[in-house]
Amino acid sequence: MRSAGTVFSLRWQPCRTFSRVIPCKLGAVTTRTLIKNLAAASDGETSVSGWVDTVRDQKKVQFVVLRDESGAVQLVHPRSFNEDGTPAEDPLAEIISGLAQGTFLTASGELKHDERVKLGGVEIKLAAIEIAAEAIPETPIAEDTSVDKRMDWRFLDLRVPRNNLIFRIQTTLEHAWRTYWVENDFIEVHTPKLMASASESKAELFEVDYFDTKAYLAQSPQFFKQMAQSAGFGKIFEIAPSFRADPSFTSRHATEFTMVDSEISWISSHEDVMNLHEELMVAGFQAVKDKHGDEIEKLFGIEMTVPTRPFPRIPLAEAKQIVSDRGYTVPRADADMDPEGERQIAAYVKETFDHDFVFLTDYAASIRPFYHMRHADDAGLTNSYDLVFNGVEISTGAQREHRVDVLEAQIRDKGMDPEELDFYLDFFRYGVPPHGGFGMGLGRVLMLLLGLPNLREATYLFRGPTRLTP
């Protein structure tokens, strides 16, 4: 019976038939054990596969630290000596002496539990090594290498346990969100990323050749999320790439990034969207804390906390006044909160409410898209919000305007031509319920959750104004 954490693989050898050499299957099956499961395994024969992290080649004994996707283990090989004390012929020792960092291999031997071993309390006394792929001895990056150069060698950078953990956390976070959505009867959609026209504005678009015409890479799934409400889907979500031709070189911007989007029907106000957003974040953070809390504290020095509900809510005008009272004035009174303003309001919320999240609400219509619903008693304000986490905006949400005549008027107010958005307005001409939703940057959430200095480290392969490789 297969035990948890073991990987089974068939072994192959070349078989000759006429003039061709083809793979030929052996009858035996080899068992690979994931390193994280060694501690729970019994002493005895075992086999692990991974890459060489370090080699300590001492006179009497050799040590190899081997890593795989789940952890690290110490391999031990006592050297052989003749009766007169001279080194004996030892092919395995020669192999170990020639191992370069990064070499992928399979190691077989005897597992032994020993609490004195700092690395997991187990070690493997080597019997054999089978090298799968040798690495070049000279490593191009180190721990103190600049982030730009590390991005050049991202596949090596990701072998570091700390960086590996980032993407295991991402997996847990996305799985928790999907679980929440599915358990609450949401429908997952996959909206197109090739657009005939801009989704929100004509700014920051990547234009691509599309047969005999032009297409644009999608900035947002906004219009198609709203189409799902007209289609009667009710509640939908999507986790997918978005593209913006933004020449920014800040620590929190990218030209290609992953967006987390959700949209729901039959809401009363943007408060319903904020409630959904809170529930989703709590579900995700709880899952990450439960599964990775100890590792996060060990590798990032951060005690993982799950936010309490409700999140603080502060109207934007009031938030700007709070920031001003703290000694900082947002440069433009008619604009959004700038990065320093976000940091200041986050500091205030932490001091006042001991909370890492804050909803900034009631944004001016002048700085919001045409499809945001305006206040019933003040057309200058919108039923919208930004969610700020640890001093950085991670999401924008709103109640959408669902009345077609009002939408057309708001399009004109923005200096746009309703005819250019005719396909979008069709959604509303045939009826759509009151609805709203949000879009959130996955990379920013990870960056802020782990206290990373920039978005590049929270992105598997970063794309920015000057980076298209690897």
213 is an annotated ligand-binding site residue: no
Whether 73 contacts 122, CB under 8 Å:
yes
Query: Is 16 assigned a ligand-binding role in the annotation?
Result: no
Phi, psi angle pair for 235, to nearest 5°: -135, 125
Q: Retrieve residue 444's tokens.
A: 């920013």
Q: How far is CA 268 from CA 157, 280, 313, in A?
A: 47, 19, 17
For residue 259, the one-letter residue type is M
Residue positions counted in the chain: 470
Residue (of 225, 221, 175) closest to 200 by Cα position: 221
Q: Has 340 been labeled as part of a binding site? A: no
Residue 441 labelled as part of a binding site: yes
Question: What are the φ and ψ backbone dihedral angles of 107, each rounded to 5 degrees?
Answer: -115, 130
396 is in an annotated binding site: yes
Q: Is 17 annotated as a binding residue?
A: no
Angle CA 394–400–402, to nearest 5? 165
Round to the nearest angstrom and report the end-to-end CA distance of the chain. Answer: 42
H or E segment to which residue 376 belongs:
none
Quote the CA–CA distance of 241 and 256 in Å, as a whole number: 7
- DSSP H helix total and E strand total for the chain: 11, 18
**Does 351 show up as a binding residue in the annotation?**
no
What span, in angstroms and rounded, lies between the C-alpha atoms of 253 and 259?
A: 13
User: Nearest 5 degrees, angle CA 305-CA 259-CA 306?
Assistant: 10
11 marked ligand binding residue: no
448 annotated as ligand-binding: no
- 325 close to 309: Cβ distance less than 8 angstroms: no
Contact call for residues 30 and 128 (beta carbons, < 8 A): no
Helices 339-353 and 316-325: crossing angle, nearest 10°? Answer: 90
CA distances from 354 to 105, 231, 277, 328, 350 (A): 49, 42, 19, 21, 4
User: Residue 390 gets which letter from DSSP?
Assistant: T
- Secondary structure class of 347 (helix, strand, coil): helix
CA distance 440 to 428: 25
Binding residues: 200, 244, 393, 396, 400, 441-444
Residues annotated in the binding site for L-aspartate, as ranges? Answer: 200, 244, 396, 400
Annotated binding-site residues for ATP read 393, 441-444
